[in-house]
């Protein structure tokens, strides 16, 4: 085995971790994959013999790549019709790939990713690497070319913003029961049941893409959200089935060959506090399964 083959094998052992870090930083599966690929390019061009801790080196490298990507994103903002939402991670029983499972194990909920998107790139990097992946502040500071104390302050500032995000119930079985009740009420057209399932201050957010003709601002309040759900449910509810979305109970609409949308739920205190509806085709592309030759 050549040195390059050995290095490639070691990189593959860290790929799932690096993808998870990159997704948490970027909220995009496709961009996370690009960041990890760029990380390999940098490793392949480096003096690997001088690397003492390969995993730490790779985490630092992918952190710097993501920081540059976030800065580039901030420099060319896109006017969204509605709300920017991340590309969702969707888990079904048949999906058990190690990279997919690793991203879900470390996955950040949709509501928290929306808050992270409002942070500066440096704040997001410091928070994600320290609070989620337990990287020490001296290493984070080196990634940003800042002092350890500056990295600590950035993470603290981000943490205060993150506290505004709803804290979901950790009981996944409870989340699933609430989502099942929501889907059942939507199917039967039971307005009162929907209102009971929804938090009085529930928010329904839409991501249809930057040019979506159906884009609209968020809907707030249990009655308003229930009315909207019942007005649209007849067109889509038959294709809905429960899944995990970013590690929490959610719903998938359509098929894996023709995905329609993903609905993420943030359940707090046994009621739905946030609904995140992702219809943007670009953000569902990674969920699409291409038909096999025999099925065409």
pLDDT score recorded for residue 215: 64
pLDDT digit string (tens) for 67-99? 999 999 887 766 666 788 999 999 875 554 555
Q: Where do we find the tokens 């709803």? A: 166
Residues 153 and 7 in one domain: yes
Residues 12 and 154 in one domain: yes
Cβ proximity of 278 and 205 under 8 Å: no
Residues 19 and 148 in one domain: yes
Residues 69 and 150 in one domain: yes
Sheet containing 248-254: order of strands = 90-91, 240-245, 248-254, 259-268, 271-278, 198-207, 219-220
What φ, ψ does residue 288 adopt, rounded to 5°? -75, 130
Residues 124 and 177 in one domain: no
Point out the least confidently predicted range of 37-41, 74-78, 114-118, 224-228.
74-78
Higher pLDDT, 254 or 101: 254
Domain of 240 in residue numbering reads as 172-287
Domain count, the chain: 2
Residues 38 and 153 in one domain: yes
pLDDT score recorded for residue 201: 97
Whether pLDDT at 268 is above 60: yes
pLDDT band for position 295 (cuts 50, 70, 90): very low
User: Can you give the length of the chain in residues?
Assistant: 296
189 part of a folded domain? yes
Using the CB atoms, write b or e for 65-91: b if 16+ within 10 Å. Answer: bbbebbeebeeeeeebbbbbbbbbbbb
Share of the chain above pLDDT 70, in %: 88
User: Which helix (H) or strand (E) element contains residue 250?
Assistant: strand 248-254
293 part of a folded domain? no
Pair type for strands 240-245 and 219-220: unpaired
């Amino acid at each position: 085995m050549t040195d390059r083959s050995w290095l490639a094998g070691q990189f593959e052992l860290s790929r799932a971790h690096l993808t998870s870090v990159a997704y948490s930083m970027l909220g995009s599966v496709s961009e996370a994959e690009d960041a990890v690929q760029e990380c390999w390019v940098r490793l392949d061009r480096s003096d690997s013999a001088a690397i003492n801790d390969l995993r730490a080196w790779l985490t630092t490298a992918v952190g710097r790549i993501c920081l540059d990507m976030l800065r580039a994103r901030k420099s060319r903002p896109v006017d969204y019709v509605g709300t920017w939402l991340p590309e969702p991670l969707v888990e079904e029983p048949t999906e058990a790939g190690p990279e997919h499972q690793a991203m879900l194990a470390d996955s950040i909920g949709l509501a928290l990713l929306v808050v992270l998107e409002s942070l500066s790139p440096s704040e997001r990097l410091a928070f994600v690497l320290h609070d989620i992946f337990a990287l020490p502040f001296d290493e984070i500071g080196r990634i940003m070319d800042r002092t350890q104390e500056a990295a600590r302050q950035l993470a603290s500032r981000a943490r205060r913003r993150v506290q505004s995000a709803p804290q979901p119930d950790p009981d996944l079985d409870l989340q699933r029961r609430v989502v099942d009740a929501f889907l059942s009420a939507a199917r039967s057209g039971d307005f009162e049941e929907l209102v009971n399932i929804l938090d009085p201050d529930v928010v329904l957010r839409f991501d249809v893409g930057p040019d979506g003709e159906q884009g609209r601002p968020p809907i707030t309040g249990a009655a308003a959200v229930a009315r909207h759900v019942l007005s649209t449910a007849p067109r889509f509810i038959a294709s809905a089935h429960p899944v995990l979305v970013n590690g929490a109970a959610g719903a998938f609409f359509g098929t894996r060959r023709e995905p329609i949308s993903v609905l993420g739920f943030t359940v707090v205190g046994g009621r739905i506090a946030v609904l995140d509806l992702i219809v943007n085709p670009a953000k569902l592309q990674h969920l699409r399964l291409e038909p096999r030759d025999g099925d065409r």
